[in-house]
Amino acid sequence: MVEQSLLQGSYRPDLIREETVADLFKASAITYSAKTALLFGQAALTYAELDQWTDQIAHFIQQKGYGPGSFIGLWHTRGLELHALILGIVKSGAAYVPLDREMPEERLQVVMAEVGAAACFSGDLPSLSCPLLTVPVFDRAAAVVPLSTGPGPDDTAYVLYTSGSTGKPKGIPILHRHICHLIRAEQSVLNISNTDKVYQGFSVSFDMWCEETWISYAAGATLWVADATTAKSIDELSTVLRNEEITVLHAVPSLLGVMDDDIPALRLINAGGEACTTAVLNRWSKPGQNVFYNSYGPTETTVTATMIALRPGDPITIGMPLPNYNLAVID
């Protein structure tokens, strides 16, 4: 085997466009208007309803004086409102700063101060150095008013905070053009379909949430959003996925290692966030029933940089770079 210090992904200029995630979602809202976009418990929203509600949220944010260049924190419980808030924020032109619900209050204060948050959506935070906002109630009867302004490709879509090598919170800003390219590049490999039902279990503060969510929206798929109990209930998760006939699962290998793999409808598994093990690969990869991908990428590369489809017995590698990505070994 010839060792190489540089691997280049395929050159796909068609995946590089002047667009925003708001543009990608709007296209799906038009194409799949009557299709279910989100499921949470007994509640559901179609693409048209989610588009209408998030336009209302974007208007609300803009009326508060926030837009491109503004950073808005999110410390909110799981559910339809959280997903609507994120879309509303990016439609307004502002960037969302997702905060884990288990983050200590002291760290919340540090993150909000460091990013210069203009405001934060939260129903139960005791205090922050910025205004606290509540979610506008969805008014289905309200007239549809187009947004006069929105984000551009070079505006920040979100800022994701990682622990960093020192343990100090480190904010990684991701532009709209970057996440849009990731969506198109990864979708060229995964081929999520508008008939898929995708499990959404990651915290919004973890970058694999973007794979679960943004790619699904772009494909017109249905997102099945887990509540906080289900997301943490390893013993019950396989039963939920089986009963809900989930077809696409993004998960860390350590979770796959302790889950029951009897999920007949599951056709695609994307393992990422950790090193995959031989045991996980051999148990979950079922040629003829599903496709098992191993993925890798630091947050700075917009979630994922490499992917490979693996079969039982294959050597585990992180694969080749996604289209328009390069992988270099630097001494």
Share of the chain above pLDDT 90, in %: 82
Backbone angles phi, psi at 192, to 5 degrees: -60, 140
Mean pLDDT taken over the chain:
94
For residue 96, being part of any structural domain is answered with: yes
Here the tokens at position 103 are: 């983050």
Give the least confident one: 91-95, 109-113, 221-225: 109-113
Q: What is the pLDDT of residue 122?
A: 87
| 69: region left, alpha or beta (phi > 0 left; psi from -120 to 50 alpha) | left
Q: What is the pLDDT of residue 166?
A: 60
Give the tens place of pLDDT for each residue, 231-268.
Answer: 888 889 999 999 999 999 999 999 999 999 999 999 99
Q: Give the pLDDT band (50/70/90) at residue 51.
A: very high
Question: Where would I find the H helices in the chain?
Answer: 21-31, 47-63, 80-92, 105-115, 176-190, 208-219, 228-232, 234-243, 253-256, 278-284
**Does the CA dihedral 314-317-210-76 come out positive or negative?**
positive
| 116: region left, alpha or beta (phi > 0 left; psi from -120 to 50 alpha) | left
For residue 310, being part of any structural domain is answered with: yes
CATH (domain of 198): 3.40.50.12780
Q: What is the pLDDT of residue 156?
A: 99
Give the tens place of pLDDT for each residue, 102-126.
Answer: 888 888 888 999 999 999 998 777 6
Q: What is the pLDDT of residue 145?
A: 87
SS (H, E, C) 23-87: HHHHHHHHHCCCCEEEEECCEEEEHHHHHHHHHHHHHHHHHCCCCCCCEEEECCCCCHHHHHHHH
Query: Helix, strand, coil % (nearest 5) of the chain?
Result: 35, 20, 45
Q: For the residues 67-77, what does the mean pLDDT come to?
A: 95
Q: What is the pLDDT of residue 163?
A: 66
DSSP state of 15: G
> Domain count of the chain?
1
- pLDDT(48) > 80: yes
The number of angstroms, rounded, from the C-alpha of 49 to the middle of its chain's C-alpha atoms is 20
For residue 194, being part of any structural domain is answered with: yes
For residue 1, being part of any structural domain is answered with: no
Long-range contact list for 230-234, CB < 8 A, 24+ apart? 230/201, 231/78, 231/201, 231/202, 231/203, 234/258, 234/259
Of 163 and 212, the structure prediction assigns the larger pLDDT to 212
Taking the alpha carbons at both ends of the chain, their separation in whole angstroms is 20
Q: For the residues 274-299, what does the mean pLDDT come to?
A: 97
Q: Give the pLDDT band (50/70/90) at residue 128.
A: confident
Q: For the residues 309-318, what does the mean pLDDT come to?
A: 98
Indicate the SS3 state at residue 120.
strand
Which residues, including other chains, have CB under 8 Å from residue 198's CB and lie 6 or more apart? 192, 212, 216, 221, 222, 223, 224, 246, 247, 248, 249, 250
Q: For the residues 197-207, what does the mean pLDDT come to?
A: 96
Q: What is the pLDDT of residue 89?
A: 99
Query: For residue 297, which of 181, 176, 167 has the smallest C-alpha distance?
Result: 181
Backbone angles phi, psi at 20, to 5 degrees: -130, 165
For residue 251, being part of any structural domain is answered with: yes
Q: Give the pLDDT band (50/70/90) at residue 323.
A: very high
| pTM, entire model | 0.95
For residue 254, being part of any structural domain is answered with: yes
Contact 230, 205 (CB under 8 A): no
- pLDDT(330) > 90: no
Give the tens place of pLDDT for each residue, 4-26.
Answer: 778 999 999 999 999 999 999 99
- pLDDT(1) > 60: no
Share of the chain above pLDDT 70, in %: 96
For residue 11, being part of any structural domain is answered with: yes
Domain residues for the domain of 130 are 6-328
